[in-house]
């Protein structure tokens, strides 16, 4: 049998390296961020139990093994995605400028809606879902954002220990903001600036009503 020369062998053997899909070399943080962004997009449109690791891998252009390498499993990926969205949203709520409390609240609300608009998938994934998604660590992540927003508002009002009337009033307003943001993302049939002004007016009206039930709230409204 005639020996096959090296040159002939090279011509007959497919170039496996060339056949392999080329993967981008990304830093650990950048790759992790891409996986989280892909997961948030999927979790915003479907229930968490309907999203698989394979779905995330395909959406991110990564391998299944890589997703497991970074997160260990779907629940860990889900929690990491929600934490990422929550941390960025909380960072945007930090007061930046001086001015009257209502002005600073308006500015914070604007930054809140900046996040809603720029990271619609993360916001929707953070807040959507049924009761099953509100237990344990997931519920703690969502409640953490709400507590931060409540604390920010009471600090702006210079209220160290809000009573039940003020606490319920502010938590009701926060729930209204969340509902309004999700509705706005779904319909987009109202100018964002108009929605923000309406929510600030909503807060003013709620405080006026609360003031009828608690003189301390009435004093805050009078000072404003």
pLDDT score of 155: 86
* pTM of the shown model: 0.77
- Look at residue 195 in the predicted model and tell me its pLDDT: 98
Structural domains of the chain, with CATH: 23-79 (1.10.357.10), 84-223 (1.10.357.10)
| Cα 141 → chain centroid | 10
Splitting the chain (224 residues) into consecutive groups of 10 residues, what average pLDDT does each group show? 43 41 64 93 88 95 94 92 91 74 85 92 78 69 90 88 95 96 96 97 95 91 65
């Amino acid at each position: 049998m005639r020996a096959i020369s090296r040159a002939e062998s090279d011509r007959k053997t497919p170039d496996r390296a060339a056949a392999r899909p080329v993967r981008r070399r990304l830093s650990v943080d950048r790759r992790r961020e891409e996986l989280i962004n892909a997961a948030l997009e999927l979790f915003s449109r479907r229930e968490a139990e309907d999203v698989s690791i394979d779905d995330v891998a395909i959406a991110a252009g990564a391998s299944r093994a890589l997703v497991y390498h970074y997160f260990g499993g779907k629940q860990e990926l889900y929690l990491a995605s929600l934490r990422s969205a929550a941390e960025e949203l909380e960072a945007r709520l930090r007061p930046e400028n001086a001015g009257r409390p209502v002005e600073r609240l308006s500015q914070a609300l604007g930054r809140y809606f900046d996040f809603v608009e720029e990271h619609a998938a993360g916001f929707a994934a953070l807040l959507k879902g049924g009761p099953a998604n509100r237990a344990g660590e997931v519920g703690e992540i969502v409640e953490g954002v709400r507590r931060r927003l409540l604390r920010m508002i009471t600090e702006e009002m210079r209220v160290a220990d809000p009573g039940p009337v003020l606490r319920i009033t502010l938590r009701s307003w926060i729930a209204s903001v969340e509902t309004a943001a999700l509705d706005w993302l779904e319909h987009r049939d109202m100018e964002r600036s108009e929605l923000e002004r309406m929510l600030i007016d909503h807060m003013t009206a709620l405080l006026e009503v609360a003031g009828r039930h608690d003189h301390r709230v009435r004093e805050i409204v009078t000072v404003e």
